[in-house]
Structure 1
């Protein structure tokens, strides 16, 4: 791509970019407003330092040549920053908004952050201090002890049905699960805010599962040790809710507490929900919270994609872009991918098994029962509407991930078209 207004006399506006040393010879360069981050060599960090000091492109090129003993294409570097979404064209050319064309390029558009992530750090920091994490871990340990002491507290698929009315039970379960999923993501956003990072909430897909996801891209501008709390915050909340649901049932089973049977069934449903969530987060191959923890601990930068492309090339030919990604992959990603691919393959097999043994049979039974009700019950009666609702819920659970795949592909095409317009 070429930016017409960018030349040797330009003074690119890069002072708002964050620069942090990642490894011995690598730096993370990012723009918190667009939530875009890239890894650059030490020379790239030095270029930003010189441009931030107010030097022109020509002056920076001369200084870098004196330091390195070879010429450096500063214009190409600045254009790369625009293509990566870290700068818009006006910032790259050093223009004020009045001097440049109206609007920024699509790749560098500013992010609309989730409102809950804008809370001042001092408000939410107590939720993620040493005392708080001791409490979260204590909740999980205590829950495991109660499970070991009374195996009847372990969840069963039957716990999803709080009432004898199937439709009402599914409605209650889905509403509660959705509500807890939102608070799970809010806890991620709170932890990000405590670390000074804002976030976005979005709907995504993990394999065959539809999930809510808090985008905390800005964490990559922080040292690795400061990323773990936001990554694990959702699981911390889930551990607390799980303890709060198991403890009363444990006391009830011991005769220490008298509970209404409906409350006991509701708590059992919460246990099923939270155990499922925590188990899901441990499935690193689905790029869950634990995947981010693992990638941070191993120092990987693009582990999932490198693993996927490494397996893909054994089956079919990669595109030129995919070949470039694999060729330029970080050594740590390639090293960890040797054993991570086993988890990846196991995950694919597990999802296939889950779909064949649980998802599809459940949808088949639900559609069969609901179809019989819709056909046999008087039209527009309460029983008929219950059948219609069950059909809708079954079809949504089956097709929702496909809609996310479609949405992401459309977004990718729009982004590619935006880059083409910039290049033109």
Structure 2
């Protein structure tokens, strides 16, 4: 039966529909964190469905406006895959695909910290004086480093002086304290904007990280999203600035230089916007894009299928033309960036890791009455913990996809 004569109605979950910009608007469910960019034609279909019109009436309205009938089956399938459809006719879907082989709907999973905190209690974080202070932090750092280039963090600053094992443990603890502070800043500023997020452990390729899902921020006007996205980097910049000020004041003993080194490393890593870093979300917001990363990987997959003379795996027909042009350019950055990132690990990091494991096993064989035994044991334990947790996190993320807004 064609959609033109179908009497069914479609019930959607409550959806946020943003303003139409460049012929497209963002549509999503803030509670699941799933947002997509749809052209105006798709928005009109959704609004007709929300009015309770039958599929036949929706099809007739579309044909009257654009001179041709829409492919409602494909459109509904796409909405269904996003978890936007509650019911079609008598068939109820609840909160996601249940049929065998269906793609799981991305979700906001993790620890919902500060979700019950009243927004007005932290609204001062996005007040004009606070935002001016944020800018001052960012301006102060290059000013200090230009005046005192000798304070620029270096790799040797990571040596705290506690011995090999002691330094490794101390740096691991400092790294995670700073990472959690970075993510708490995201959560608090998102709450100040009236949104909430979830904290979880995730990964950036082979790096284990803490991650905040702020998908609900996409329900805000674009101008108000920058503060939540930049809050984490600003916290890290503040920690770096305090470390530099302490060194200027004569407090130059560890772990102050180590903290400065870790902060600078974190900020530089955020520039790698071929991954879902803070800078990636700022760029996506500034360029008024939808699901850039996901759509780009789909585009790359289609290009590979084309080279192999196989059918396309992904339908990108609903992606606005303007975004498709950006995706073509971004796909080059994405593929090259990921290749370089993984390549440098394979060429340099992996041989170093293998050498480290071999030396550690040799030291452990020397017996527990030597210092080398305990250094090697602690380092091996940290390495196993890192890659073990990384493997579990990567597997869970593959089985249970997260929303585009997870950063």
The TM-score range, normalised by the shorter chain, is 0.7 to 0.9
1:22 maps to 2:28: no
Alpha-carbon distance, 1:251 to partner = 1.4
Alpha-carbon distance, 1:109 to partner = 8.2
Whole-Å separation in 2 of the counterparts to 1:171 and 1:41: 51
- Which structure 2 residues correspond to residues 63-78 of structure 1 after superposition, within 5 A? 63-68=61-66, 70-72=68-70, 77-78=75-76
**2:101 is matched with which residue?**
none
3-state SS of paired residue (1:115): coil
In structure 2, the CA distance between the partners of 1:22 and 1:277, relative to structure 1 (3 Å rule), is farther
Whole-Å separation in 2 of the counterparts to 1:39 and 1:82: 15
Whole-Å separation in 2 of the counterparts to 1:81 and 1:339: 27
1:375 maps to 2:365: yes
Q: In 2, are the aligned partners of 1:34 and 1:109 still within 8 Å (CA)?
A: yes
1:141 maps to 2:130: no
In structure 2, the CA distance between the partners of 1:61 and 1:348, relative to structure 1 (3 Å rule), is closer
More moved, 270-279 vs 79-88: 79-88
Q: Which has the larger radius of gyration?
A: 1
Alpha-carbon distance, 1:116 to partner = 2.0
In structure 2, the CA distance between the partners of 1:394 and 1:79, relative to structure 1 (3 Å rule), is closer
More moved, 202-211 vs 313-322: 313-322
**1:348 is matched with which residue?**
339
**1:417 is matched with which residue?**
none
**1:255 is matched with which residue?**
none
Unaligned runs of 5+ in 1: 1-6, 253-258, 413-424
Deviation string for 1:229-272 (max 9, x for gaps)? 221111111111111111011111xxxxxx4x6xx211111001
Whole-Å separation in 1 of the counterparts to 2:232 and 2:113: 14
3-state SS of paired residue (1:271): helix
Whole-Å separation in 2 of the counterparts to 1:178 and 1:142: 25
Whole-Å separation in 1 of the counterparts to 2:138 and 2:164: 31
- Which of 235, 247, 250 aligns to 2:248? It is 250
Deviation string for 1:359-412 (max 9, x for gaps)? 346535643553233111237x88744432211223444565555444444446
**1:116 is matched with which residue?**
113
Alpha-carbon distance, 1:85 to partner = 1.0
The alignment covers a number of residue pairs equal to 388
- Which of 180, 183, 186 aligns to 1:185? It is 183
- Which of 290, 293, 296 aligns to 1:301? It is 290
Alpha-carbon distance, 1:136 to partner = 2.1
In structure 2, the CA distance between the partners of 1:174 and 1:75, relative to structure 1 (3 Å rule), is same
More moved, 304-313 vs 344-353: 304-313
3-state SS of paired residue (1:299): coil
Q: In 1, are the aligned partners of 2:114 and 2:191 still within 8 Å (CA)?
A: yes
3-state SS of paired residue (1:13): strand
The TM-score, its normalising length taken from structure 2, stands at 0.80
- Which structure 2 residues correspond to residues 12-161 of structure 1 after superposition, within 5 A? 12-14=10-12, 16-68=14-66, 70-72=68-70, 77-89=75-87, 92-93=88-89, 105-106=97-98, 107=104, 111-112=108-109, 114-118=111-115, 119-161=117-159
3-state SS of paired residue (1:187): helix
**2:405 is matched with which residue?**
none
Q: In 1, are the aligned partners of 2:11 and 2:86 still within 8 Å (CA)?
A: no
More moved, 138-147 vs 234-243: 138-147
3-state SS of paired residue (2:233): helix
Q: In 2, are the aligned partners of 1:281 and 1:289 still within 8 Å (CA)?
A: yes
Q: In 2, are the aligned partners of 1:30 and 1:37 still within 8 Å (CA)?
A: yes
- Which structure 2 residues correspond to residues 251-400 of structure 1 after superposition, within 5 A? 251-252=249-250, 259=251, 264-304=253-293, 313=303, 317=308, 320-322=311-313, 324-325=315-316, 330-337=320-327, 339-340=329-330, 343-344=333-334, 345=336, 348-349=339-340, 351-353=342-344, 356-357=347-348, 359-360=349-350, 362-364=352-354, 366-378=356-368, 384-397=373-386
Deviation string for 1:187-235 (max 9, x for gaps)? 1122222233322323333233222221222333333222212211111
Q: In 2, are the aligned partners of 1:238 and 1:278 still within 8 Å (CA)?
A: yes
3-state SS of paired residue (2:191): helix
In structure 2, the CA distance between the partners of 1:395 and 1:105, relative to structure 1 (3 Å rule), is same
Higher RCO (CA 8 Å, separation ≥ 6 residues): 2
RMSD: 3.6
The structure with the largest helix share of the pair is 1
Whole-Å separation in 2 of the counterparts to 1:31 and 1:279: 32
More moved, 346-355 vs 173-182: 346-355
In structure 2, the CA distance between the partners of 1:404 and 1:137, relative to structure 1 (3 Å rule), is same
The TM-score, its normalising length taken from structure 1, stands at 0.77
**2:172 is matched with which residue?**
174
In structure 2, the CA distance between the partners of 1:145 and 1:364, relative to structure 1 (3 Å rule), is farther
